[in-house]
Amino acid sequence: MSDIIQLLPDSVANQIAAGEVIQRPASVIKELVENAVDAGAKTINVLVVDAGRTMIQVIDDGKGMSDTDARLAFERHATSKIKKAADLFDLHTMGFRGEALASIAAVAQVELRTRMADREIGTLLTLEGTRVTGQEPVACPVGSNFKIENLFYNVPARRKFLKSNSTELNNIMTAFERIALVYPEISFTMHSNGLEVMNLHAGTLRQRIVDVFGKRLNHDLLPIEVETSLCSITGFVGKPESAKKKGVQQYFFVNGRYMKHPYFHKSVMNTYERMIPVGMQVPYFIYFTVPAGDIDVNIHPTKTEIKFENEQAIWQILTAAVNDSIGKFCEIPSIDFDTEGQPEIPLFDPSYNIAPPKPQYNPTYNPFETTSTVEHKDKVIDQWEELYKGLHTEETFPQVVQSKIGNPIEDRSPSHYQFKGKYIMTAVKSGLMIIDQNRADIRIRYERFMNQMEQEVSRTQKVLFPEVVQFAPSAKVIVEKLMPYLQKVGFDLTDLGGNSFSVNGVPAGLEDINSVSLLQEIVADATEKGCASATDIHSTLALGMARRSAVTYGEVLGNEEMETLVNDLFASSNVNYTPDGKAILSILPQKDIEQLLN
């Protein structure tokens, strides 16, 4: 039998390895920008065309490379960051594996222009699928200029399964923001298809956060700062009133590197447990500085999963730091009693002489006299027939039965019963039906809004005082895509520049809701789902408006309101589930009820 195991060609092995490091255009930008940071750049410019499918260009003013280093940098496992295995536990750079440039060159056409400060002439290097196609001297500024064209041109399957341009550009912006938030001392710019998307000047950390996510966030940030022997923690956490359900900015960084850490996230959210409603999230930007030997970043090629040696101790330090920040700035929500319609109680003035009240009484009153009582009794007895004037004996009255405890009760009961302001309970042939009132109303309103959009019969209600809604730069593409649909559904928005919009009108029937929060939630949902088609956008808009305008938990409903809600629910296309797949009703069979009482 012949041998069947063989070594793969280098080109195939490189493409397989590149699949772990370069998953989409955002991965290319992450790796190139991190290399620019490691090179000591003070200005980094990123340009993309067609969300990175056609071209990605990263220009920096770092220290650059010599002609030999430029050629060697594209070899696999060639790096200037580490020299021995022990260096993996003392990392001070963003990259270290030496895989990024080799992986990019394996799946794209690459052009590099680079020059060092002590050289008069730079180097132009071109590669195609790991193969060097040219190298020559060229005049260029100090630093490096990477141009990546036709990404995944030689891996058609990977290119075919890239998402839409808006989704890929959103991923690029997310990766770009994660790096920009760590290095406020570096200036960043981002251009998409020739248009400037983001321009971040060097400044303080707080200013960088505000530049990325808008000025409104500045009023919701509380600084935290703690220094211990294990670690130092700095950054900002949000005020309790800044909590939102979706679209909240939450970032952890360790030693200048973005990370995901559910355990530390739980620590922060536990601190707000009694301050915000269940299901809400608060923004935070928290930066850890720990000894390089106490963490391990060499777990996954994306380097976002990081292990801590003293995880439990750092968890306690983080909890104490967030608690201290909230308490120090007196941001515990105060108890605000409802005083509307209550009488105003004046302050006590000791100099004001108040006369004691004088009692008034009838000196001729004698409780033992019964004349008035007898007269009243006789008067009632003499006139008792007038009370029944106009009534006929043949008129029927509701039947009254005697209860076990001796109190008469009517033999009629309402058809629906509301339980704890959350569920509607009604009897059906098979048992007891329990309906979630909020989810039922979401289903009803969702279908109503969908019909309005399909028939284009939405109306706009102008607001007396326009509000301003601001979106993060990473959401700009989604906002531009949603804008025509928002106007069709009834929103009147005016672009104020800087990703800010004035809300001049809202859809009729939604006047009492917070339009700013609604728009932010709709954009967050659209960003999460992608919304490639018009149907997806309609569904996102309808669901967002239905959630905001639906009956809330705790709202007391009358029997007629419950009757209308139940009838409308059973007239909808799906009575069992909400548009996002949550159960609306459940039936408790009669035999189960009888078994419980046996």
Q: What is the 3-state secondary structure (H, E, C) of 419-465?
A: ECCCEEEEEECCEEEEEEHHHHHHHHHHHHHHHHHHHCCCCEEEEEE
DSSP letter for 191, please: E
> What pTM did the predictor assign?
0.66
Nearest to 527 by CA among 158, 279, 174, 192: 174
**Both structure tokens of 585:** 């009703």
Parallel, antiparallel, or unpaired: how do β-strands 416-419 and 408-410 relate?
A: unpaired
pLDDT at 316 over 50: yes
pLDDT at 247 over 80: no
Give the C-alpha separation, 100 to 21, whole Å. Answer: 7
- For residue 180, count other CB atoms closer than 10 A to its CB: 24
Percent of the chain with pLDDT over 70: 80
Give the C-alpha separation, 38 to 40, whole Å. Answer: 5
3-state secondary structure (DSSP) of residue 31: helix
* C-alpha dihedral, 524 to 529 to 531 to 532, nearest 10°: 140
pLDDT at 350 over 90: no
Give the C-alpha separation, 325 to 237, whole Å. Answer: 8
**Both structure tokens of 482:** 């949603």
**Both structure tokens of 597:** 């009482």
Stretch 29-50: mean pLDDT: 92
Give the C-alpha separation, 342 to 367, whole Å. Answer: 39
What's the chain's length in residues?
598
Stretch 337-351: mean pLDDT: 58
Q: In the prediction, which pLDDT does 411 show?
A: 35
Stretch 229-244: mean pLDDT: 89
Condensed to tens digits (0 to 9), the pLDDT of residues 355-406 reads: 777 888 888 888 777 655 444 444 455 666 666 666 655 444 444 434 343 4
Stretch 319-338: mean pLDDT: 70
